[in-house]
Amino acid sequence: MTAQEFGAFLTLALDELEKTGWHYFSFHFFNGPRPFARSIIKACGSINDRAAGMGTALFRELLSIGGIDRHQPHYEQLMQKLAEILVIERIVTSDWPEGTTFEQEPCAFPGGPRPELLVTFPGGRLVVEVKTPSMLNHVRQRHANGAQLAYRGVLTPDDARRTVGQDGLTLPRDYPVRDFLADADRKFAGFRDGNTASLLVVVWDDFIYEPISILANQRSGLLTPNTFERDDNDEPRTYPNLDAVIVLRHLNYFVEGAAERDIMDRKEAMEFGEAQALPNVFFDVSGIARIPAHVIERLRAYSHVDPGLLAMAEYNIQDVVFWI
Question: In terms of domains, do 12 and 139 share one?
Answer: no
pLDDT tens digits for range 27-49: 999 998 999 999 999 999 999 99
Q: What end-to-end distance do the CA atoms of the chain give, in Å?
A: 46
Q: Which residues contact 153 (CB under 8 A, 6 or more apart)?
A: 217, 219, 220, 228
How crowded is residue 293: how many other Cβ atoms within 10 Å of its Cβ? 9
Q: Considering the entire predicted model, what is its pTM?
A: 0.94
The total domain count for the chain is: 2
- Domain assignment present for residue 75? The answer is no
The residue range of the domain holding 19 is 1-70
pLDDT tens digits for range 178-216: 999 999 999 999 999 889 999 999 999 999 999 999 999
Question: In terms of domains, do 62 and 115 share one?
Answer: no
Cβ pair 107, 178 in contact under 8 A: no
Question: In terms of domains, do 63 and 105 share one?
Answer: no
Gyration radius from the chain CA atoms: 20
- Predicted pLDDT of residue 166: 66
pLDDT tens digits for range 212-259: 999 999 999 999 999 999 988 999 999 999 999 999 999 999 999 999
Question: In terms of domains, do 33 and 155 share one?
Answer: no
What one-letter code names the amino acid at 59? F
103: confidence class by pLDDT, cuts 50, 70, 90:
very high
